[in-house]
A and B are shown apart, each in its own frame.
Chain A
């Protein structure tokens, strides 16, 4: 397993083992929320202070504004699935 992967797994193990169900879910929620906040915050700050970065077309002739926007929507859904999966796994263990 890669280094970041191992770190993530270790963190999740700590979260999943050291807390009650209620606070375990909220800790996990906060970790995923922070991750999304970085992605969303990055998008908003780029648009606000460096809007010209959104004009570039890095891939398939489509600009950063569209890729990043679609990416944020997809990321929200994927993180939601991860959260649901981890919470369910914890509940099943219990």
Chain B
């Protein structure tokens, strides 16, 4: 599709980004010490911190990825919503208060509270970096996806733009401004998602009487793009992809439903027929690659049930490994939230354990409400008649565009600040890992307060640059799927140590180091050797993959626990 920017969209976008940067710059004046830079002096009010949790957590994966997955495949995307929220139960009931009690600036502080071991700082610092960089990729991909329809810019420009703005935010101000940016973004995202949901229900469903036809995109051997055999463009002799997302039948042969209630919305769709789209890729002898998008009328009852997305189809098959893959993903989502370094450091920005607990409850309220809305927004996009068949990540902004240009501009700007908020948190967590954990402790060099902050800022620029490059390379992957992997690495590397430290006196420092290293390396290796990576990243046949299923959690999380227990027992005996 050709996305033409409008003046209003660009103006509102620039206003949002300008305000965010101004706020960041203003607040940045307060954060000169390391306590201010990494933990906002522990002075953030619990309610603000709770909403900032939502701002930090509801990333591009939640807003763009889940909505896109639901819009293209139905209910399966909502499984991510359920899993992402369930993870907060672990965070609140198991991790929140001890994290606040044990730590100071970083996740490594909490794990190292009993031992004062440079080895733990090194291992956990590295795992923080690995998880944060993995989590950064989908955020940057989301940013690139957003600027296409909004500003008419290429993917790489969007990624670079976000990278530059976020580096500016983190370098100028640290945790104080990051918190307020996240608070602002969290509030706006939840409020405007609710507005959009009300508009979806008000609009109801309408049958599209036209018969959708297949569409093709051909990339010729010399790199030219052809749409349905014609050059891309709006002029004569040119073609552009038609927007998709239609209903072919409504219950009782109705043409339109009018406004619907929140329950009626689902019951009506359950009895309707929706046109979904499938894609197949073929390579001709002359070297051109053609992707054919074909309409597939699908009963609503099928759209609203799990197991229709290609990645989830396995649950409706008899193949054991396919089912294990699903179990593994849902386990990683459940265990991953409470292991994400950029979420955990937010427990240090409030004054005490009660504030940590209360802010988590506020976070669960905001995040849970938003996740309920994702199902409405995804299905609303599915039936909006405005989607881009080539990119599922654009479903939510294009849904807004189908309602009003103003809403589109606001939603896109919010989505952009969504990326800014999450990426800021991730880069700050990475910078803390480098300056506070890796350099500050392991190297034995005693850094002054000022030097720690300066090194953190240099690390922010470096991590930001890496994120920009990865965001450009991974353009075509659904952002929510990428985040699923980040959760697997986080849960495998960090959760076993954290949980065992809290509930078992027999933990040793060697046990923690071994568990973090084994969990991190095994989960990363599993992902790199999986069928999904083979096909989507290396371009190799999925059958050549070296592991039997793609999601590592069900193997590598227990492996982390087993390693910790075994090594702790062995090293305790020696002591």
Contact = CB atoms under 8 A, between A and B. Distances in A.
A74 B364 CA distance: 10
**Main SS of chain A's interface residues?**
helix
Interface in B67-84: 75, 78-79, 81-82
A24 to B, nearest CB: 11
Interface string B249-271: 00000000000000100110011
Contacts of B266: 61-63, 66
Interface residues of B, number: 47
A48 B98 CA distance: 34
Contacts of B146: none
A69 B78 contact: yes
Given A61-B270, A87-B354, A33 B316 contact: no
Nearest to A66: B266
B305 A51 contact: yes
Contacts of A40: 82, 86, 89, 334
A60 B263 CA distance: 7
A89 interface: no
Contact of B372 (A25, A43, A70, A83): A70
A47 interface: yes
Contacts of B375: 66, 69
Given A33-B90, A36-B89, A87 B270 contact: no
B267 A29 contact: no
A69 B92 contact: no
A61 B323 CA distance: 28
Contacts of B354: 87-88, 91
Interface residues of A, number: 39
A32 interface: yes
Contacts of B93: 29-30, 32-33, 36, 79, 83
A74 B89 CA distance: 12
B293 to A, nearest CB: 27
Contacts of A44: 326-327, 330-331
B1 interface: no
Interface in A1-53: 22, 25-26, 29-30, 32-33, 36, 40, 43-44, 47-49, 51
B270 A62 contact: yes
A65 B38 CA distance: 42
A80 B372 contact: no
B151 interface: no
Contacts of A73: 81-82, 85, 368, 371-372
B271 A61 contact: yes
Interface string B306-340: 11000000011000000100110011001000000
Interface of B: 75, 78-79, 81-82, 85-86, 88-90, 92-94, 97-98, 101, 263, 266-267, 270-271, 301, 304-307, 315-316, 323, 326-327, 330-331, 334, 353-354, 357-358, 360-361, 364-365, 368, 371-372, 375, 502
Closest 4 CB pairs of A and B: A61-B267, A29-B93, A33-B93, A44-B330
